[in-house]
Amino acid sequence: MCVNGRCVSLASLCNRRDDCGDASDERNCHVNECLNRRVSGCTQDCENLPVGYKCKCWPGFRLKNDGQTCVDIDECSSDFPCSQLCVNTYGSYKCLCADGYEAPAKNSHSCRSLSAEEPFLILADHHDIRKISTDGSNYTPLKQGLSNIIAVDFDYRKELIYWIDSSSPALTQRRINRMRLNGSDLKVIHRTSTPSALAVDWIGKNLYWCDIRKKSLEVSKANGLYPVVLVSTGLDIPTDLALDADTGHVQLSIFSICLYTVLLSVTVPSGENESRTRFSYVCSRETTDCQKKSQLISLLLCKCTYAVLFLRQPTFCSGS
């Protein structure tokens, strides 16, 4: 923009013609401020322009709002590029692998196991729990003669299998069970009304489950102690549950007909700390009945998935 308020194209700058009408487009031409860092103030690179200059940063850095100062980008926190461990360095980052893993020569961002043990799957039908090879060529029965398994999860680090047994006709007798991978040390670690899904957080050593009758999302320590109700409103029919322990996200699948607030607050029984739970929604493809109105989401026979983000770890009672 010219001093007199008129606008001209960049191509009109410093062309030895008074395109502005006040000659302001021909002032300070062919002055290279980048030759003197005291003039430009750029901490890294400087690009000379027909009039003025522009500060630029090296790869791994970003320009601050002052337009001159370059600061390091923490790639490990902004866009986690590594499959396991990430260490931020000045202008870059370095990927590392946990014990028992190494980085392949052609891909330093990933890690592969050094163990000779073949990967496997844990499969549960209504009455049996089995260990199956990933190609399905062979399987090993781990526990047989069980009653009615409706959900299962596995703590690989501790080699513990968790499952829900819904065989008991009494609503107060539905059980969450645990045993070792070899089938030993079978225990009932929690009893709840009507559990429908469970998931193990092997990093935080917590156990999460949904209860259809109580319409709740609950959590305890991995051994079943110190149970806490995280969400007890707005969950009409919680049908499934999954965890992303690295990011702290819990994914809930809910079939519901009601109104939900976008942000609700859940107080855990510590007396001091508060855990906030944020809801977002994605409707299934077969319906178009979801509408967002102000800060409420109206659900009309719409099967939606809610992403729940716990901004702080659940706080348990003393002894946890």
Domains and CATH numbers, the chain: 10-71 (2.10.25.10), 75-113 (2.10.25), 120-310 (2.120.10.30)
167-176 long-range Cβ contacts below 8 angstroms, 24+ apart = 171/213, 176/207, 176/209, 176/224
Please tell me the predicted confidence (pLDDT) of residue 75: 92
What is the Cα gyration radius of the chain?
Answer: 29
Task: Round to the nearest angstrom and report the end-to-end CA distance of the chain.
Answer: 65
For the chain, percent of residues with pLDDT exceeding 70: 76
Are 63 and 42 within 8 A, CB to CB?
Answer: no
Q: In whole angstroms, what is the distance from residue 64 CA to residue 314 CA? A: 36
How far CA 64 is from CA of 36, 51, 67, 90, in Å, comes to 20, 22, 6, 16
Please tell me the predicted confidence (pLDDT) of residue 73: 94
pLDDT band at 264 (very low <50, low <70, confident <90, very high): very low
Please tell me the predicted confidence (pLDDT) of residue 169: 55
pLDDT tens-digit series, residues 1-45: 787 878 887 777 888 888 888 877 777 787 888 998 888 999 999
In DSSP terms, 197 is beta-bridged to: 210
Residue 40 phi, psi dihedral angles, 5° rounding = -75, -40
Please tell me the predicted confidence (pLDDT) of residue 51: 78
Q: Which residue has the higher pLDDT, 231 or 308?
A: 231
* Among the ranges given (171-180, 183-192, 266-275), the one the predictor scored with the smallest mean pLDDT: 266-275
Q: In whole angstroms, what is the distance from residue 306 CA to residue 279 CA? A: 6
Q: In whole angstroms, what is the distance from residue 243 CA to residue 145 CA? A: 29
Q: In whole angstroms, what is the distance from residue 273 CA to residue 270 CA? A: 6
Residues with Cβ within 8 Å of 102's Cβ and at least 6 positions away in sequence, in order, are 111, 112, 114
Given a cut of 50, is residue 131 above it in pLDDT? yes
